[in-house]
Amino acid sequence: MPERNVFTWNAIINTYVKDNNFVQARALFDAAPFKDWVTYNTMLSGYVNSEGFQDEAVRLFSEMQFVDEVSEYALTTMLGLVTKLSLLSYGRQLHSYMLKTGNSLNRYSLSSLIAMYSKCGCFKDAWRVFDGSDDGFVDTVSKNTMVAACFREGELEMARNVFLSRRQLNDEVSWNTMISGFAQNGYEEEAIRLFRIMMEEGFVWNEHSFSSFISACSGVKNLKLGKEIHGWILKKGMSLNPFISSSFVNLYCKCGLLNYAHSICKTTQKANPFAVTPLIVGYSETGNMLEARRLFDSLPDKNHVVWTAMISGYVKAHQCEEAFQLFRELMTQKTTVPDELIFINLLGACAIHATFNYGKQIHACILRTGTAMDAKLSNSLVDTYSKGGNVTYARRIFQLAVDRDTILYNSMIAGYALHGYENEAIQLFSQMTEQGFQPDEVTFLALLSVCRHRGLVKLGEEYFFSMTQDYKISPGFDHYASMIDLYGRANQLDKAVSLMETLPMEPDAVILGAFLNACKMNRNAELAKAAEDKLLQIEGGNGSRYAQLAGIYASEGKWNEMGRVMKMMRGREAKKTAGCSWVYIGDTVHTFISGDRSHMENDAIYITLGCLIKELSKLSATIFLEEEFCIFY
DNA sequence: CTAGGGTTAG
């Protein structure tokens, strides 16, 4: 190129920027004999829009201010950067700079500011920018940005009002924003309705419309509608679009058609984490952890969502050790930083294992990574520490929690209940209602648990009454089972019987189980026999129920009845799930089931156990008998 | 030649 000018220099720099060749772009930028603000803005936007050059962007922006007047282009570019990095205070500084230099009043600034405030979590400021601007500056883009901001905030009616005002500005993006907004906020039917109207009003569906629509179908598991649109998309030849195909994978996974989902996933040229992640979740839910792991391992680039899906899959399948192991692998990788959801899943694993040490380690990890503590995370910590046996830590977390919700109160009340801190639980419930938190069915379950273990029949009845009368919560199976258990433990079998007679529904296995237990505690084998048929009808396949029945007859000395039930158990090949105990020593878990002889230190353990049983038998003959009965099983 | 909005997964 014999003749060069500022335009040609800018063009060649831009070409290298677009090719992500920042070494060459920067060399040309430094060497350029002519520079105008386009040169700077080209370089700046290149830095902003690529990973890893954001420090350079800030440095260049600072330099630019001394070279020439900063243009509106540079300001909107920088707003995009602070939005991506969620740097609200920088965003505010840019906003005031724009106001001072008269750069805040153009279409680009308007939409960038709305997006920045919305994505940085300041919906009110986003609205102020939009609402306070002159009508002349509001264009389609800033209107659409505002609609999206409303959905992000969960303000659905506000979104609709903005959408309906100045309707002539609406375009395809406006419609797609509405469809995805409703779909994401749990109004799938509305999203599906709008999808249809969009076409009727003459707008053309594109990949955005399809993705959101398929996502809405997945949300309500509407397989029929999903298949209809699938056929349509196959005909249109759009099925290989990565957004669309991964949405279909998700749809079929949610509807339980894993084979179908898997075959679609295979049609994609390169592994798409957006298609693989739902499959990992799907296989995990069916307990096929090997296939889930195989898919996970097949992904070359794993982001934090994939890691979370795999870890949560292990936790759901109760393979907690694998979850911890995978987390250790994650931490050795420097690329992915664990987020709140990963921690919540891991804490769930700790709660399942009832392990205090792991819980403490995860907690420390949360603090080290500077993860923000919200109600959900506090809740997981309270639950983990309670179940791990340390209610003091649980309480500390609860007291330090700034934003609380009903669920957090529920966990703390349940934690107190678990550890026999009945007064604290009761007191916390009063505090909860005084602070204006609405108790739910779980709250009352925890409260009834308190009453059951303390034998507080009167208070339990009060809660049960208050739940229906004051809070309009209709009791579920678990609430009735709790009440029956409460009466049973308090030796008021007559009340349990009359509650059984007035149940508004057919009792389930849990209620019948509680009733049988009440019969056992009150040594009433006749009533138990009456409930036996019903229970075995519902849960004939559950071996532990036969064992429970046998136990009742045995405790009454009715050995014939016991033998009869045991025979039924064998005849139906019903297996009793073995209950187990475990203890962490160092990094190793030692698990025991009843009559277990497999442990390496078997002899020492049984000698100690024998000594303990001897000591116990001195204390009480009853305990000894029941202990022997357990070993017999 | 440079700047703004909407899509998929835990």
pLDDT of residue A623: 46
CATH of domain A476-577: 1.25.40.10
pLDDT of residue A626: 45
Task: Round and report the angstrom distance from CA (A145) to C1' (B5).
Answer: 5
The protein residue nearest B8 (Cα–C1') is A243
> What band does A527 get if pLDDT is binned at 50, 70 and 90?
confident
> What band does A596 get if pLDDT is binned at 50, 70 and 90?
confident
- Flag whether pLDDT at A627 surpasses 50: no
Rounded to an integer, the average pLDDT of A340-346 is 95
pLDDT in tens, A223-266: 999 999 999 999 999 999 999 999 999 999 999 999 999 999 99
Whether the beta carbon of A342 falls within 7 A of nucleic chain B: the reply is: yes
* Distance set, CA A552 to CA A486, A525, A540, A576, A582 (Å): 18, 7, 17, 16, 27
* Residues A146, A139: Cα–Cα separation, whole Å: 11
pLDDT of residue A532: 81
Residue A584, classed as helix, strand or coil, is: strand
- Flag whether pLDDT at A595 surpasses 80: no
pLDDT of residue A75: 94
Extents of the domains making up chain A: 476-577, 580-633
Task: Round and report the angstrom distance from CA (A173) to C1' (B7).
Answer: 10
pLDDT of residue A94: 93
Which chain A residues 42-101 have CB under 7 A to strand B? 42, 45, 49, 71-73, 76-77, 80
- Flag whether pLDDT at A600 surpasses 90: no
pLDDT of residue A577: 61
| Share above pLDDT 90 across residues of chain A, in percent, rounded to a whole number | 65
* Distance set, CA A506 to CA A94, A487, A488 (Å): 65, 19, 20
pLDDT in tens, A376-397: 999 999 999 999 989 999 999 9
The protein residue nearest B3 (Cα–C1') is A73
- Flag whether pLDDT at A586 surpasses 80: no
A14 closest-nt by C1' vs CA: B1
- Flag whether pLDDT at A633 surpasses 60: no
> What band does A310 get if pLDDT is binned at 50, 70 and 90?
very high
Mean pLDDT estimate for chain A: 89
Task: Round and report the angstrom distance from CA (A209) to C1' (B7).
Answer: 7
* Residues A294, A348: Cα–Cα separation, whole Å: 23
Which bases of strand B have any atom within 7 Å of the beta carbon of a protein residue?
1-10
Rounded to an integer, the average pLDDT of A187-211 is 95
Q: Where are the alpha helices (DSSP H) in A556-620?
A: 559-571, 602-619
